A and B are shown apart, each in its own frame.
Chain A
């Protein structure tokens, strides 16, 4: 046993690998056994992670030397353990869900299940890697496997296009990551994280900045930071829903892990502008992300844009943490880091829940278009309840989990503003806090739209009318996450305690957010929060409202009748549409999001007075595409055209190139 013990934390990876193998071998139930294996692996991962976090400082290292020049080593430290916890939680729910979801899935279920397990294994290896070689290998494996998951429905044109953009973006960004690591390698003279870590103290400022920028571009792309996010709203919706849940909930968090690892551990501590830059990127991503989400009527794309928004919120916490650390305020940095990591966990839970919910809707109605849904709350009550919990959580409503972590983010931003580091920081932090509030409000609006249009009212299409509730495994997966939304929101102190070893290792301090389960200390600076009391208050107020209503209205009887619509028949098309609901926001922010609309009237027999039909198309012209991507693509095509002068298409020409090269080389090397 003593020999196995140090390698035990790799057990989840081994189980995932086994699951992948099972998927390829088991021909009878290719969907069931691999996902059962994935479930087992994630439960083991959960156990390993919680044990390591409770033990605090434990570090387990496993090194394999397969190639002579680079060792492949893995390590479980508190930060890795926390991210392993996040991955395992979501993986457990998604695997349960997948068992039901895949029954109706077309295409190669075996391949999908194998890739799913491989994806989980690769993500676990990314956060456990302890050498450059291992990290890059796992990182690329994760990108490649997720690419295959994205193009699972490759018969659709749109999916192939999404996969292509994803592949291009992720590979281009990997080059920057490689560059960043090479800079660190040049300084440390070793590819092991341990050596890089110990050499970080005497890293020249220029190398430090280069390594950070390289990592920021690479991880920013994977995380979906605006303007590097273009792949995300395309690729996440293209994948099957349980995979979307993992990609949006977990995969983009591995990039946050990478940023924390580089910023605090491998290349840190850095100058103040690192934190400032990340904070600024976070604010931009959060505000623009939620605005673009509001403009979307495809449920999965809407959720994908919300991932951009939430990554922005997470980066606000991270930026504040880096800033406070560079100002020499470890306690504040620890608080901000808790905000960042707690929101990582919370977003993983509620975003996975929402994606699974949309998956259930799509499973049952075969559409994700909001304008074709409606009235699902009567047909899919459990899914509707789960989706509602997720919507409330992502809108940061108490007593759910999103509220707590956004509250801590506010706390750390306000702390940053009052940290006495000059007026620029104070104004910037106040502005960021204000924009965070705006983001929260818009997010709530967006989910009023998403939930209201999809689940309330009358069905807008026959498919929505014929919807039915999904099977038990799917409901179980969603229910688990919905319960977690409540649990994390009501008992946040538990998570904060789990995070203590993480912040202690990275910032040298343990955060003391003014959280208590039931109150009731005197308010500290910036206020404090007691979630259980909030819940109690909410219940009490609800009961009070009911009582008051009864008291004032008297013991009336309720009568159900259709709404009055001027005496004609009630039609679904009379309802608010998603586009119409979002119109006020579109008008207010038109300078930022550049909406366009095209209305075309078809006239009966060419006479302008008799309109036979109207076609209406609306959308947005994203700024980053006009000013960044379009010029970049144009330049690339121009360069490619120059190179094409060599490419004549004539086989003989190509052979002549080879021939001439061969003869010249032979003569030269004589």
Chain B
């Protein structure tokens, strides 16, 4: 079933990308851990929408499956695991930031500009990649890394790395018109296992140090 022509699809992908960018910038400002996890779910939903757009444009059946997997993994499973970890270790629900959120926002905007600047030569070469998808993908990546840097708690760091992974996923969707199913499945499993392991490690850190402030890991250095 082909619902959109390429023009429409591009328009839709552009809009979705802008929305993703907004969520990424917003994530820097959010101070409650729980909200930042819920924001991840929103990002996952947007990514699933992007995948669905690609599916409806190309009509390839595996693209539908990809969209479905995205919903399951990124909207349900991953945020679910993180919320459970958060619930289990019962700590203060605020993020602890190293960099004040306003400055972080400025940095994030700067990074977005860097992203646009960096990808502009690539984006202008391929018609399908014009617009916001690719630069948004790179900014998601950079802002994710910034989140990891700027926050102290281990959960925030997991949130950051999942944001990075979202950026990569957006890039894949935008650049390839849908990944092969095997790759899609692999990435999905990888993410779930990765988050489970990170959740376990977070619990372990909490049990050992009675906090999930990663600054304490410094004492592990021999």
Contacts and interface: CB of A to CB of B under 8 A. Distances in A.
Contact of A663 (B114, B157, B217): B114
Contact of B215 (A650, A658, A666, A670): A650
Contacts, number: 42
A204 to B, nearest CB: 47
A659 B147 CA distance: 11
Contacts of B146: 659
A666 B221 contact: no
B114 A667 contact: yes
Nearest to A644: B221
Interface string B182-222: 00000000000000000000000000000000110111110
A651 B214 CA distance: 7
Given A655-B149, A656-B149, A670-B118, A663 B218 contact: no
A662 B142 contact: yes
A58 interface: no
A658 B214 contact: no
B221 A652 contact: no
A658 B138 CA distance: 15
Given A655-B145, A659-B149, A649 B114 contact: no
Contact of B142 (A651, A652, A663, A670): A663
A543 to B, nearest CB: 70
Nearest to A667: B118
B148 interface: yes
A558 interface: no
Nearest to B115: A666
Given A663-B114, A663-B142, A649 B148 contact: no
Nearest to A651: B214
A73 B215 CA distance: 54
A639 B214 CA distance: 28
A666 B117 CA distance: 10
A650 B219 CA distance: 9
Interface string A640-664: 0000000111111001101100110
A662 B117 contact: no
Interface string A184-221: 00000000000000000000000000000000000000
Contacts of A651: 157, 214-215, 217
B217 A670 contact: no
A655 to B, nearest CB: 5
A659 B145 contact: yes
Contacts of B148: 655
B214 A652 contact: yes
B149 A650 contact: no
Nearest to B161: A655
B98 interface: yes
Interface size class, chain A: 10 to 19
A631 B67 CA distance: 61
A662 B220 contact: no
B218 A650 contact: yes
A649 B215 CA distance: 9
B162 to A, nearest CB: 15
A642 to B, nearest CB: 15
Contacts of B142: 659, 662-663
Contacts of B121: 670
B124 to A, nearest CB: 12
A79 B144 CA distance: 61
A649 B214 CA distance: 10
Question: Which of A647, A652, A670 counts the most B-chain CB atoms under 10 A from its CB?
Answer: A652
A649 B145 contact: no
Contacts of B98: 652
B217 A649 contact: yes
Interface string B143-155: 0011011000000
A647 B221 CA distance: 9
B220 A670 contact: no
Nearest to B221: A649
B58 to A, nearest CB: 29
B149 A648 contact: no
Interface string B109-149: 00100100110010000000000000000100110011011
A663 B138 CA distance: 10
Contacts of A662: 141-142, 145
Contacts of B217: 649-651
A662 B111 CA distance: 12
Interface in A218-237: none
A656 B98 CA distance: 13
Contact of B149 (A647, A652, A666): A652
A253 B215 CA distance: 52
Contacts of B114: 663, 666-667
A241 B117 CA distance: 67
A473 B146 CA distance: 67
A48 B170 CA distance: 61
A575 B196 CA distance: 65
B118 A666 contact: yes
A663 B149 CA distance: 14
Contacts of A650: 215, 217-218
Interface string B15-35: 000000000000000000000
A658 B218 CA distance: 18
Contacts of A667: 114, 118
Contacts of B157: 651
B149 A649 contact: no
Nearest to B217: A651
B99 to A, nearest CB: 10
A637 to B, nearest CB: 12
Smallest CB-CB A-B distances: 3 pairs: A649-B221, A649-B218, A651-B214
Given A648-B218, A648-B221, A649-B217, 14 more contacts: A647-B221, A649-B219, A649-B220, A649-B221, A651-B215, A652-B149, A652-B215, A655-B145, A655-B148, A659-B142, A662-B141, A663-B114, A667-B118, A670-B117
11 contacts: A649-B217, A650-B217, A651-B214, A651-B215, A652-B98, A655-B149, A659-B146, A663-B111, A663-B114, A666-B114, A670-B118
